[in-house]
C-alpha cells in the first residue's frame, strides 16, 4: 500500500490465481511486486500490491465465500467489463507494451494504430480475463497556413 495515506483511486483486480497473475504482470508489463498477504488457507493471496509504470495496482485471489458464493474473477470470455488504461508518453511505447504483453500470453483485442482523436492506441486481454489499453499522444502536426487567393 502507498507509504503515505493519500486520496487515490487504485485499481483492485480479482483474479483466479493471484500468484500466477503477479508473475504474468511482471513479465508482460515490468511490474514490481510491493507486497503480498497470504490468505489463511495458505493457497491464495488475500491482498497484493504491484506497481505498473510507477502506479499501484492491488489484486487478490477470488474469495467467493466472502461474496455470497459468487465469483468476482472475470470469465476469460468476454472478460472484465473494466479496462485498465496505461497512459504512455511516446507512441512507439504503445507497440512495445502490447508486444511484450502478447509475448507473455495476452491476446490483442485492438491492434495498435494512430487514432482520429490524436493518440496511438491499442488493447489486449490478459490470460486472467482483464482488459488493458495503451495510449500515447501523437506528435502535433503543424498545418501549413492556407494560401490566400488573389482577387481578380
DSSP summary character for residue 88: -
37 lies in some domain:
yes
Residue 75's pLDDT band, with cuts at 50, 70 and 90, is confident
Residue of higher predicted confidence among 32 and 73: 32
What pLDDT score was predicted for residue 92? 98
Q: Which helix (H) or strand (E) holds 20?
A: helix 18-29
CA-CA-CA-CA torsion for 63, 101, 110, 90, nearest 10 degrees? 120
Cβ 48 vs Cβ 35: under 8 Å: yes
* Model pTM score: 0.81
Could you tell me how many helices (H) and strands (E) the chain has, helices first? 2, 8
Rounded Cα gap, residues 127 and 107, in angstroms: 8
Residue 66's pLDDT band, with cuts at 50, 70 and 90, is confident
Burial 115-132 (b: 16+ CB within 10 A, else e): eeeebbbbbbbbbbbbbb
Q: Which helix (H) or strand (E) holds 52?
A: strand 45-52
What average pLDDT does this structure show over 5-29? 91
What pLDDT score was predicted for residue 3? 54
52 lies in some domain:
yes
27 lies in some domain:
yes
What is the grid cell recorded at 60?
487478490
| Domains identified in the chain, total number | 1
Residue 50's pLDDT band, with cuts at 50, 70 and 90, is very high
Cβ 39 vs Cβ 45: under 8 Å: yes
Whether 2 shows a pLDDT value over 70: the answer reads no
The CATH number linked to 120 is: 3.10.180.10
Domain interval for residue 108: 12-64+72-137
150 lies in some domain:
no
85 lies in some domain:
yes
Strands 119-125 and 55-61: unpaired
Reduced to 3 states, what is the DSSP secondary structure of residue 14? strand
What average pLDDT does this structure show over 89-116? 97
3 lies in some domain:
no
What average pLDDT does this structure show over 122-127? 95
Residue 142's pLDDT band, with cuts at 50, 70 and 90, is confident
81 lies in some domain:
yes
152 lies in some domain:
no
Amino acid at each position: 500500500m502507498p507509504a503515505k495515506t493519500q486520496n487515490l483511486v487504485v485499481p483492485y483486480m480479482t483474479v483466479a490465481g493471484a500468484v500466477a497473475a503477479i508473475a504474468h504482470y511482471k513479465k508482460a508489463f515490468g511490474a514490481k511486486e510491493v507486497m503480498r498477504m497470504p490468505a489463511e488457507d495458505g493457497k491464495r493471496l488475500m491482498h497484493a500490491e504491484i506497481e505498473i509504470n510507477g502506479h499501484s495496482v492491488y489484486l487478490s485471489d477470488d474469495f467467493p465465500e466472502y461474496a455470497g458464493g459468487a465469483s468476482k474473477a472475470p470469465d476469460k470470455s468476454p472478460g472484465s467489463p473494466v479496462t485498465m488504461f496505461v497512459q504512455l508518453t511516446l507512441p512507439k511505447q504503445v507497440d512495445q507494451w502490447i508486444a511484450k504483453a502478447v509475448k507473455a500470453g495476452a491476446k490483442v483485442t485492438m491492434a495498435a494504430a494512430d487514432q482520429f482523436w490524436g493518440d496511438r492506441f491499442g488493447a489486449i486481454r490478459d490470460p486472467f480475463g482483464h482488459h488493458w489499453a495503451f495510449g500515447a499522444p501523437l506528435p502535433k502536426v503543424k498545418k501549413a497556413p492556407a494560401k490566400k487567393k488573389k482577387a481578380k
